[in-house]
């Protein structure tokens, strides 16, 4: 059982994300615990899941929320799945603290 939707790595922060495409707006909706006990960051984007548009929407939303360039965020796994793993490059502890503040969770 994971207690956090993200973990600090030497090259940045790895974030598990559950994406809702065509969600009406681009937003981070907090953290959710899945039925298997894993925590995920809930994200909604306006983009449809077509030709990677939703993945790009999530990438840009994460970057904007962390006040980082879009190039700092990359999709690591789950390109065609609802559950995805993104890597946010940079100082992992600082990024984790920013994400914790955005979601109201402890770092």
Query: 79 lies in a domain?
Result: yes
Nearest to 28 by CA among 65, 53, 55, 3: 65
Residue pointed to by tokens 């809702």: 20
Domain count, the chain: 1
Asked, for residue 18, whether it belongs to a domain, the answer is yes
Asked whether residue 91 is domain-assigned, the answer is: yes
Which among 94, 68, 74, 91 is positioned nearest to 17, based on CA atoms?
74
Structure-token pair, residue 77: 């796994």
Nearest CA-CA partner of 18 in 48, 1, 39? 39
Residue 62 belongs to a domain with what CATH number? 3.30.1200.10
Instruction: For 58-74, write each residue's pLDDT tens digit.
Output: 999 999 999 999 999 99
Domain range for residue 64? 6-103
pLDDT of residue 104: 84
- Residue 1, domain member (yes or no): no
Whether the Cβ atoms of residue 89 and residue 9 lie closer than 8 Å to each other: no
- Residue 93, pLDDT score: 93
- Please state, in angstroms and rounded to a whole number, the distance separating the CA atoms of residues 79 and 73: 14
Instruction: Collect the ranges in the chain with pLDDT lower than 70.
Output: 1-3, 106-107
């Amino acid at each position: 059982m994971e207690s956090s939707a993200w973990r600090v790595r030497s090259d940045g922060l790895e974030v598990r994300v559950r994406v809702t495409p065509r969600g009406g707006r681009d937003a981070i909706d907090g953290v959710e615990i899945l039925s298997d006990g894993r925590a995920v960051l809930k994200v909604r984007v306006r983009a449809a899941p077509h030709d990677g548009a939703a993945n790009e929407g999530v990438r840009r939303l994460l970057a904007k929320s962390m006040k980082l360039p879009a190039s700092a965020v990359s999709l690591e796994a789950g390109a065609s799945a609802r559950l995805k793993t993104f890597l946010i490059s940079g100082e992992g502890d600082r990024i984790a603290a920013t994400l914790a503040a955005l979601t109201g969770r402890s770092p």
